[in-house]
Amino acid sequence: MSAEMTMEAHAHHPPGMIEGLPPFVVPAKKMAMWLFIIADAATFAGCLVAYGFLRNGTPNWPRPFESMTNAALMTFILLTSSLTMLMGVRAAKASDRSGAFRWTMITMVLGIVFAALHIREWLELIHRGMTLSSNPWGSPHFGAAFFSITGLHLLHVSGGVIALLIVGLGYNAGHRNAEDMEVTGLYWHFVDLVWMFVVPFVYLLNMAR
């Protein structure tokens, strides 16, 4: 389609109804991130369903968590990091480079603290005898299920921390724009959202009778 035809079509049709515009009139980067998030949500949902399937079908499912303090602290940190990310994107949209950079770096630090707490918890469980294929408490499937789900989430957090560093520094230097910040923010909120399901199903259900 020539440029003249495209312009004419734009003048007579609502956006999104003609060739030449991105589907749903959503910017390409944002659409790509949303599609990734949908696919990744299916991945995590698959993992959680598999976890529930195993748990439901195993009478002696281990309950190794004596305290929920660490899980509560990790939840608070991750939820707070979503707020700081939101403030960072808002600052970027308002062309406030220093504000956006500051909030993004705060978010990154919170992500690092979350990852450190998570790794500490892992090391404690490993020290108590839990591996991918065995544990002292019950079904050997627990280790594989727990490490797979929390490991996949930790991998996402680690990737998010790296992305925040790259995009934050790039935005501060003028190499990245507000849309890059927004797309990175979407990813970070998604990581937070997944944790909202991991905590109740993997940790808190241990408290059930």
Partner 1 sequence: MDAPDVNPHGAAAKYTDTPGKYYVIYACVLVLAGLQFFIATLHLDTSAMFARMLLVAIVEAGLAVMFFMHLWAEKRGWFIFVVVFTVFVMLAMQYGWTDSKRMENGAPYTQPKAGVIQQ
Which residues of the chain form contacts with partner 1 (CB under 8 A)? 14-16, 24-27, 30-31, 34, 38, 41-42, 45-46, 49, 52-54, 56-57, 59, 68, 72, 75-76, 79-80, 82-83, 86-87, 89-90, 93, 182, 185-186, 189-190, 192-193, 196-197, 199-201, 204-205, 207-209
| Rounded least distance, CB 37 to partner 1, Å | 8
Query: CA 118, CA 192: separation in Å to the nearest integer?
Result: 14
Nearer of residues 52 and 151 to partner 1, judged by Cβ: 52
| Rounded least distance, CB 186 to partner 1, Å | 6
**Nearest to residue 201, comparing CAs of 77, 93, 70, 44?**
44
Distance of CA 154 to the CA centre of its chain: 9
Query: CA 187, CA 160: separation in Å to the nearest integer?
Result: 7
| Rounded least distance, CB 140 to partner 1, Å | 16
Query: CA 20, CA 203: separation in Å to the nearest integer?
Result: 48
Determine if residue 16 is left, alpha or beta; phi over 0 gives left, psi from -120 to 50 gives alpha, anything else beta.
left
Helices (H), 18-140: 28-57, 69-93, 97-127
Nearer of residues 172 and 206 to partner 1, judged by Cβ: 206
Nearer of residues 42 and 126 to partner 1, judged by Cβ: 42
Nearer of residues 85 and 115 to partner 1, judged by Cβ: 85
| Rounded least distance, CB 161 to partner 1, Å | 18
**Nearest to residue 125, comparing CAs of 143, 144, 149?**
143
| Rounded least distance, CB 14 to partner 1, Å | 5
